[in-house]
Each structure stands twice: as C-alpha cells, then as structure tokens.
Amino acid sequence: MTVPATSDPSGPGDEGAPGTDPAPGHAAPDQTAPGQTAPAGGSATKLGLTIDELAARAGVTVRTVRFYGTRGLLPPPLIGPRRVGRYGPEHLSRLALIEELQHHGMTLAAIERYLQQLPPDISAHDLAIHRALVASWTPDAAAETDRAALERRAGRALTEEDLDRLAAMDVLERTADPEVFRVDPAILHLGIRLLDVPIPLETVRAARAVVLDHSRTAARELSRLFRDEVWGPHRAGQPAPDLSAMRSLSAHMQPMVVQALVTAFQRSLREELRAGYGERDPAG
C-alpha cells in the first residue's frame, strides 16, 4: 500500500475544514500579511514551494494545508510573482511535526498549544529536532509504498543512488518488487532532506555505524546503571523482582533520558565544531 495522505482533522469540537480544493494547477493565491513578499526573479526552487508542491512533499492534501493555515498552525507563505504563495523548509518541517503529533493522538487544540510554546522564529532545523523527539515514542510501523509515492514526497525523481542512500540511513528497505519499498514513516522526512546534503554514500554509512555503536554503548551503560543503582536498592528484600514495576519505572525515565542524550549531543557537537572551525559554527 502507499503512504496515506493525512486526512482533514475536523474531529469533535474542532472547526470544520475549508471547502474542496480547486482543480490541480489552479490553486487560488494564498494570502499573507501586508509587506510579506518573496524576492522578484529567480527560480521556483529559490522562491519556495507552491501550495500544491508543499502538499505533495508533506504527503497531505492542499485542503489540509489551507486548513492548518486558517487555524494558525502554519505561518503565512511568502507572496511571489502572480500573487502565488511560496512555502519554505520551515513550513515542510512544521507539517511533519504536526503529522507526528497527530499520530500520538493529540487533538488540534492540543497541537495548537504545543506549537504556541515554540519560539516564533524557530528554524526548520529545530522543528526537525522536535519531531525527532516526538517520533522516538512512536512504535515501529514500516509501511509499503511505491517509487511514485516516494518521489512525490521527495519532490523529484529518485535515482538508484538516492534509494541506496535512503537504505543506508534505514529510511527504507527494498522488497522483491524493485518499485516497492518498506518505508519508516518516522524518519522519511529527515531522510529526504539528507538526500540534498553533499555527503558521499560511504560517509553516510560510516556516520550511521558511529551513531549506532555509540548509541548501543550508551544504552547498555544506562541500563546497567539503572539496574544496579536504581532498581537494585528498590527491590532489596523482595523475594523476586517485580518486572511490571521495573518496566513502569523505566518508561517514566525514558523521556528524560532521551532528552538528556539529545541535549548533550547537541552541546558536544557545537563544541567540536567551534574547536575545529573557530568561534563560528560553519552551519551558522
């Protein structure tokens, strides 16, 4: 089956979504705040995505994008030539975060409150980190999809090298059918973004090996620490360990551990970048 497009979320207590979409290629111009315009000239890629392109890349409908805009979940687009709204990476990352929050059963009202707590100028990069933290609590649920659906999400044709890179990042697995793949929806958005990063495939594989090795080591050491220093005293004097209580305690600690690991890694990476490239980070 293909990756399904997100349906219009108009559940109980929520406002209804706007009307049906116009015919493809005839989307009405998106409105934005006065004075917010895109630069004149340049390619469509430089200016950003149209609403149709944004919807295809995010795996949702145009109607859903407009609905989120009316609810304030998406910032207004820039206005390009012919008064056509243009969307950037931050819109795509925000849509991916909204989708992840919906997968966790959050209502639109709860998602609105979540997004309102984020800085107004949050970058696409930081939105992706938020999504990664949310996605870490989603059970593995790989789904089969075909090349056409993948290419709609990527916004371009995918070469065999592109597919190899996605496979190296564990974003997808090939099947017996060369046109059908098993895809991990939780990291598909990140994997597609990394396709445009000029890093050799072998470097991607080596980086993945480093991350897996250190992640397993950290998980092993934290588990040992939890077992010896936390669970050991807790179960002292009991005839047998209460496995259900141990799992419950582990589940309560897991979010804090993951956030601590992400924060520590970000700080360590910044320090390494400053040490290697001087006071200014090359990505900044």
Span 43-65, pLDDT tens digits: 344 568 999 999 998 889 999 99
Q: What is the mean pLDDT of residues 194-219?
A: 84
Which of 7-11, 13-17, 24-28, 92-96 reaches the highest mean pLDDT?
92-96
Residue 197: partners with Cβ closer than 8 Å, 6 or more residues away: none
Distance of CA 66 to the CA centre of its chain: 20
Per-residue pLDDT at 240 = 53
What the block records as the tokens of 152 is 């709609």
Backbone angles phi, psi at 198, to 5 degrees: -75, 70
Residue 140: what pLDDT?
Answer: 55
